[in-house]
Amino acid sequence: MENIYKRINSRAKELEKDTANFLMDMIRVPSFSCKEKDVIQVIKKEMEKAGFDEVRIDGLGSVIGRIGSGKRVIAFDAHIDTVYPGEMSLWNFDPFTPKIEDGKVWGRGSVDQEGGMASMVCAGKMIKELNLNNDFTIYFTGTVMEEDCDGLCWQYIINEEKIKPELVVITEPTNMNIYRGHRGRMEILVSVKGLSCHGSAPERGDNAIYKISRISLEIEKLNERLITDEFLGKGTVCVTQVFFNSPSQCAVPDAASIQLDRRLTFGETKESAVAEVLEACKLAGYHDAKVEVLKYEEKAYTGLVYPTNKYYPTWKLPEDSVYLKDSVFVYKNLFDKEPIVDKWTFSTNGVAIAGMNGIPCIGLGPGNEIYAHAPNEACPVEHLSQAAAFYAGLIAKLNNK
């Protein structure tokens, strides 16, 4: 067993430059949510070059590579859409002109999350070359629209493609640690009505901004009393956007609303979160406030609209999971040290895979999540080969190689 891990490590290191070059090929092609078509073609070509048994694109636009045809099914997932670069003056270089410098690949998407995609394809190549798989059908998914709507891509894969693995390895950045869960989230809109009148006589109207402001203060108090899970931490809620409607700048507003970012810890649900916000509205004195979970219905680059509520459930893999034990075993044999087992701060496609469908997930990915969505994003080159070695090593372990 030790010998196979040495072989995997050695081959991953030999392929490190190719893996980094593939990552830079992806970075050169901007791939914002709903605009991923071109980068999907780059990935498809690389999978075919690596000798995958099948490569196809699903109806939502995700690329799905397959190796093997065993009765058991496992998947590795990387979302390949990125956020926009933001304020360009904060970057020290063009975010879409990647470079290798100081042992890192620099560029938008290097950490979040095309680095994981590069390592996955390298792992697939090694699995084929070293004959590591007999028992599994292995899917490698480069998924779309995650930055806009976590898990929508996997709702489609599970419901429409009918792919339901026994385990999914999420390759979001973990700084090469093993992650086993994260909080869920919701996007909630709270709306109130008022009565407009001329601003010169505000007592004639009913100011909707004052009403929504009082509700906002109750939301601030609500955040302080939300429950805590010993592993995932505390649930949170905050006001992130404010909207209003008014006939003019010199009129009392007749409608106002706030958008809430609600992070859900273990034990919290969509229903419990909505009930808490309704109670906060009542504490502010407004029993008629409207509370609704927002809906996502943007068009994929394929033209498909696949609507979903913006409720992304919490999940965590149990500490006694055999998949977690296997992952720790592989990590120790590859890297000769104990892994840190932790959780993500943000949410991932695991909200649909594990949260909605109960499919076990574990996470390990190149790069540190603190650089996700940040300027001057960069991923250590050595992380790319290490992650690839872990993915291939896990397949070897599950096949009892």
Give the pairing type, strands 167-170 and 72-79: parallel
Does the residue 85 lie in any domain? yes
Half-sphere exposure of 30 (CA within 13 A, CB side): 9
In this structure, the answer to whether residues 91 and 177 fall within a common structural domain is: yes
98: domain CATH number?
3.40.630.10
In this predicted structure, the answer to whether residue 401 has a pLDDT above a threshold of 90 is: no
In this structure, the answer to whether residues 237 and 346 fall within a common structural domain is: no
pLDDT tens for each residue of 251-276: 999 999 999 999 999 999 999 999 99
In this structure, the answer to whether residues 108 and 126 fall within a common structural domain is: yes
In this structure, the answer to whether residues 240 and 370 fall within a common structural domain is: no
pLDDT cut 90: percent of the chain above it: 99
Section 19-30 average pLDDT: 98
- CB contact at 8 A, 201 and 263: no
Which pLDDT score, from 0 to 100, does residue 343 have?
Answer: 98
End-to-end Cα distance, the chain: 7
pLDDT cut 70: percent of the chain above it: 100
340: its two tokens? 């840190």
Residues in contact with 146: Cβ distance below 8 Å, sequence separation at least 6, in sequence order: 33, 79, 81, 113, 152, 153, 348, 349
Section 65-90 average pLDDT: 97
Section 10-21 average pLDDT: 98
Q: Distance between CA atoms of 67 and 163, rounded to whole angstroms?
A: 14
Catalytic positions, please? 81, 146
In this predicted structure, the answer to whether residue 1 has a pLDDT above a threshold of 60 is: no
Does the residue 261 lie in any domain? yes
pLDDT tens for each residue of 178-202: 999 999 999 999 999 999 999 999 9
pLDDT tens for each residue of 296-312: 999 999 999 999 999 99
In this structure, the answer to whether residues 279 and 197 fall within a common structural domain is: yes
What is the rounded average pLDDT for all residues in the chain? 97
Does the residue 83 lie in any domain? yes
In this predicted structure, the answer to whether residue 344 has a pLDDT above a threshold of 80 is: yes
Which pLDDT score, from 0 to 100, does residue 2 have?
Answer: 53
Which pLDDT score, from 0 to 100, does residue 56 have?
Answer: 98
pTM score: 0.95
- CB contact at 8 A, 23 and 384: yes
In this structure, the answer to whether residues 40 and 164 fall within a common structural domain is: yes
23: its two tokens? 């990552």
Angle at the Cα of 143 from the Cα atoms of 142 and 145, rounded to 5 degrees: 145
Q: Which domain holds residue 347?
A: 2-182+314-398
Q: How confident is the model at residue 249 (pLDDT cuts 50, 70, 90)?
A: very high
In this structure, the answer to whether residues 17 and 58 fall within a common structural domain is: yes
